[in-house]
Structure 1
Amino acid sequence: MANNPAARIDPLDPAGLADLFTDDERAVAAAVRQLCADRIDPYVADWFERGEIDDVRGLAKELGSLGLLGMHLEGYGCAGMSATDYGLACLELEASDSGIRSLVSVQGSLAMFAIWKWGSEEQKQQWLPRMASGDAIGCFGLTEPDAGSDPGSMRTRARKDGDDWVLTGRKMWITNGSIADVAVVWAQTDEAENGRGIRGFVVPTTTPGFSAPAIKHKGSLRASVTAELVLDEVRLPADAVLPDVRGLKGPLSCLNEARYGITWGAMGAARSALQAAQAYATERTQFGKPIGAYQLTQAKLADMHLEYAKGVLLATHLGRRKDAHRLLPEQVSLGKLNNVREALEICRTARTILGANGISYEFPVIRHMNNLESVLTYEGTVEMHTLVVGQAVTGLSAFR
């Protein structure tokens, strides 16, 4: 029996997940939720439908003013908050839209983290304070038209010409690309013969030869800026290279940061769809009573709450491990694989509860469902994360 006979379950949080977090952590989540309620939620369905965010730079500055850009990094104007705080922020942002969480994630966990972790002191001083405030926007150029899950096969090349570097190639599906002030670009170098391989470069987007045409006609992540990066003999000074990393270790370390945020963010999309379905089930009447009074609908809601609770528990556990400096890349794969997959299933089930209304932008469900189709495969496909986990538990590689 319950210790408190008067206690009642919270229908929006039947597992009592709020108890997992400290007062300070709940305050972080509440602050982000309020920003989203004021600045994003009233407009995001329209942004998604039009495929365009109004005043994206202004939004970036508001996100920066709350300390959300690079919030888990130390120094250089960054908030220096915990991994769990960052995770909760990602959850709240993606409860509004995956595209908004992507803006923050690419800025902080990819572009800023690359410079913060692997850059020179001059690069950090030049870019990180402005990126933390939202006055400068960054993007991360790794994926190419013919190199996604196998980044080692990238064709973008950087060759030495005197003291300069000259970059040539193309990057694809680059979030923030067409609005970025700086791009972190990864390229093959002639050092590959010496085992030094891939290098990262800090590329101001005003550099001659650099262009970033926007990618249109998307059916997913429409409230997100996506571009192709074209590098046509882009000449950079010697100090444009990230000095402290060589090989795939550099970009993969950044992807690990972003995947951690996705593990939390996907649960935000799931929560939004679940709450929409739960509210609809109590309001929609068929055959003389609310559809939530029927067993099949209750079974759907119970299963959705169960998978959501498990996903948040897993994300929280990984967050605590990250804060204790004990989080392994394979564990991030476990979180990303489970939570995105289950969030997508929650959204699909929510759509069935809403029926035809489930495809209307008057409700968030189809928008989240479409977004998660992209989240499912970016930052590592289901297949790749499955094999990472498989290798971790068997000791045998099945990648090739």
Structure 2
Amino acid sequence: MTVSFDLNPGARALLSDVRDWALAEGRAIARESDDAHSVPDHLATRAMKTCPLDASPLLGVAVDFGVDRDYALSERDGSSTIGVRVSELAAYGDISLVLLLKGAGIGARVVDLLGTDEQIDRWSGGIARGEYRGTGFALTEPNCGSDAIALTTSAVRDGDNWVLNGTKIFCSNGYLADFIVVFATVDRSLGHRGIRAFVVPRHHPGLSIPRANEEKLGVRSMVTSQLTLENVVLPANHCLGDPAREDGFRTAMQTLNSTRPHATSLALGIAQAAHDYAREYLDEHRDGFTARRWGRVDDELRRMNAALDRGRLLIGRAAWLQDQGRDNAKESSAAKAYTCPIAEQVCARTLLLMGADGYSKDHLVEKWYRDIKIMDIWEGSGNIQKLTVSRQLQHHGPRGL
């Protein structure tokens, strides 16, 4: 089947406006947001006044694109195909912008996948109605990350209630969320079949946040919190879906197949920004190069750009399959396994090409170098993605190639 990434004029106009906005606002708020470890309200307000988007589908949440103008998007313009480009362009300005655009968050997507009709209307519908601003996603624990089935947070049935106990780290949105989707095991001996997802309101008794925002090397403006659940008593209907269902965790993890191309696009956007910034810097200092030395630098920059283009194609195919309603597990994992390490290499090399200036806070390249490090870790580490691709190929045989 032919894969086409062609977009209609309205979609191209949208992306052009997003790029202009990202450059104007993202670069302006980048340094202060990084230093503040969050996006200050006055910067967020200023940036969103000129934003051409309502929100972006960075985390697979369906939203409207246009705000002040009608971009005349058609059904042919798949939301994921456009969404990965929006993600890339926002990160091209600065990762801080992504935080302003991410809408409801990944927790809402889990509710949509696992919840009953009543739960979807209550929680996801509540977001649409403006009753809630955002959600948190709590899976990672001090002793488990990619090996999610090793989690120890427990959920014990007590009559008509569930009682949760455990600790979570790097909870996205954390203290900012109105409710948090928490993964816990009802029986560790069942492995992934014993894992369930629970909706825990942010201010529920027993839920505490000992660390509101983790100290991080990069993406400092993104809030990630540590949570402690101590005898958190929840009504039975706060367990998403049927408590007897044993494939719920696998279904929830499908969320990452849909969000992973968007997350990988963030790495692509950061690396492309570093590449373009370094090229402009080096062009301005070209007089200091001999012709031979400049030829080597120019060739290296062109090879970097070609490598990023290959990542863009892998991301595009994964997003296109999602828009077609087809399984994209292998493609989304392949895109992340390839693109994130390449993006990290590009950021590291551009910093070196700029010499001491690349290491200076007078330029954003050092920030992008710090930001890019997380991209190969979150949404499933690169090594895990390689295992996923390998298993998919073994399962599907030669056709998987």
Name the structure 2 match of 1:8: none
- Letter of the 1:362 counterpart: D
Indicate how the Cα distance of structure 1 residues 220 and 188 shifts in structure 2: closer, same or farther if over 3 A, else same: same
Name the structure 1 match of 2:354: 354
Name the structure 2 match of 1:265: 266
Of the three residues 221, 224, 238, the one matched with 1:223 is 221
Of the three residues 68, 87, 90, the one matched with 2:56 is 68
- Letter of the 1:52 counterpart: S
Name the structure 1 match of 2:118: 122
Name the structure 1 match of 2:282: 281
* 1:48 maps to 2:34: yes
Equivalent pairs, count: 375
CA-to-aligned-CA distance 1:90-112 (integer Å, 9 cap, x gap): 1112213335436755944x212
Q: What are the ranges of 5 or more consecutive residues in structure 1 without an aligned counterpart?
A: 1-17
In angstroms, what is the RMSD of aligned CA positions? 3.2
CA-to-aligned-CA distance 1:270-291 (integer Å, 9 cap, x gap): 11111101111110145477x8
Give, in angstroms, the shift of residue 27 of structure 1.
Answer: 2.9
Which shows bigger deviation, 215-224 or 340-349? 215-224
Which shows bigger deviation, 372-381 or 39-48? 39-48
Name the structure 1 match of 2:68: none
Give, in angstroms, the shift of residue 349 of structure 1.
Answer: 1.8
Give, in angstroms, the shift of residue 305 of structure 1.
Answer: 1.3
Give, in angstroms, the shift of residue 32 of structure 1.
Answer: 3.0
Indicate how the Cα distance of structure 1 residues 31 and 281 shifts in structure 2: closer, same or farther if over 3 A, else same: same
Q: Distance in 2 between matches of 1:64 and 1:19?
A: 22
Give, in angstroms, the shift of residue 193 of structure 1.
Answer: 5.4
CA-to-aligned-CA distance 1:49-93 (integer Å, 9 cap, x gap): 23222029869987896132678545xx76696111111111112
Q: What are the ranges of 5 or more consecutive residues in structure 2 without an aligned counterpart?
A: 66-74, 397-401
Name the structure 1 match of 2:153: 156
**Does the aligned pair in 2 maintain the 1:292–1:298 contact within 8 Å?**
no
Name the structure 1 match of 2:95: 98
Q: Distance in 1 between matches of 2:184 and 2:30?
A: 35
Indicate how the Cα distance of structure 1 residues 307 and 21 shifts in structure 2: closer, same or farther if over 3 A, else same: farther
Of the three residues 122, 134, 139, the one matched with 1:137 is 134
Give, in angstroms, the shift of residue 269 of structure 1.
Answer: 0.9
Give, in angstroms, the shift of residue 154 of structure 1.
Answer: 0.5
- Letter of the 1:343 counterpart: A
Indicate how the Cα distance of structure 1 residues 288 and 37 shifts in structure 2: closer, same or farther if over 3 A, else same: closer
- Letter of the 2:256 counterpart: L
Q: Distance in 1 between matches of 2:17 and 2:120?
A: 28
**Does the aligned pair in 2 maintain the 1:91–1:267 contact within 8 Å?**
yes
**Does the aligned pair in 2 maintain the 1:105–1:258 contact within 8 Å?**
no
Q: Write the mapping of 1:280-319 to structure 2, written as runs, cut at 5 A.
A: 280-287=281-288, 294-319=294-319
**Does the aligned pair in 2 maintain the 1:69–1:134 contact within 8 Å?**
no
Q: Write the mapping of 1:240-259 to structure 2, written as runs, cut at 5 A.
A: 240-243=238-241, 246=246, 247-259=248-260
**Does the aligned pair in 1 maintain the 2:104–2:133 contact within 8 Å?**
no
Name the structure 1 match of 2:391: 391
Q: State TM-score, norm by structure 2.
A: 0.83
Secondary structure (helix, strand or coil) at the match of 1:371 reads helix
Name the structure 1 match of 2:203: 206
CA-to-aligned-CA distance 1:90-137 (integer Å, 9 cap, x gap): 1112213335436755944x2121112222233323333554569512
Q: Distance in 2 between matches of 1:221 and 1:378?
A: 12
Q: Distance in 1 between matches of 2:127 and 2:24?
A: 23
